[in-house]
Structure formats: structure tokens, C-alpha cells
Amino acid sequence: MSGDPDHDHISTSYVERQNLTMRMSMRRFTRLTNGFSKKLANHAAAISLHYMHYNFCRIHKTLRVTPAMEAGISDHVWTVEEVGALLDVKVKPVKRGPYKKRSA
């Protein structure tokens, strides 16, 4: 904990709302699914991608803009291509071989 928060305005409502939004938006946070992460790095990447989309790409009804635009961090709604361009990894498309029909 850091800073000097105003004790009259301390509330867990904001954190609980973020937890609910994350659970409802990402299948890996719901119980009894097969969409879980086997590696911690994959889990962290999925959470980062969720928050990047939530704050930079998604227009919120109450704000009528993205949270990043409301905070003055961004001047436009980001596209998925712009988010992907931030990655260091360059993905080359791999040509897949012809699929053969299986005999029943």
C-alpha cells in the first residue's frame, strides 16, 4: 500500500467490479471449463490482453469513449491490429498441407 488515500472514499466496490468484469469476460476464470492456462506466462498474457482491449479498444456506454481516452492517455479507439503491432513476436503464416478425407 502506498500513498495517502482519503479514508472517506475507500471502497472495495471498484475492485470487486473489475473482478466480476474479468470473470464474465474471460472463460478461463469461470469454473469447470477447459479454457484454463497451463503456463503462468500464458495466463498473464491473457489477462494483459483483456485489460488492453477493455481500456483501449472498447467504448464504454457510460463514458461514450474508451477509458484510455477519458484519462487522456489515448486520442483514438485502438484497433486489434494496433494492439497486435505492440507485440515483439512476428508471426509467419504457415501453409498447411491438404486435408485427406477419412474413411468411415
How many C-beta neighbours within 10 Å does residue 68 have?
A: 19
Q: Which of 7-11, 73-77, 78-82, 98-102 bottoms out in mean pLDDT, i.e. has the lowest?
A: 98-102
Q: What secondary structure, in 3-state letters, does 17-54 show?
A: HHHHHHHHHCHHHCCCCCCCCCCHHHHHHHHHHHHHHH
What single DSSP character describes residue 3?
S
Which percentage of the chain shows pLDDT scores above 90?
36
What pLDDT is recorded for position 40? 87
What pLDDT is recorded for position 66? 96
Q: Which of 5-14, 60-69, 74-83 bottoms out in mean pLDDT, i.e. has the lowest?
A: 5-14
What pLDDT is recorded for position 32? 66
Question: Is the per-residue pLDDT at 1 higher than 70?
Answer: no
> Cell numbers of 69, please?
481516452
Contact 66, 74 (CB under 8 A): yes
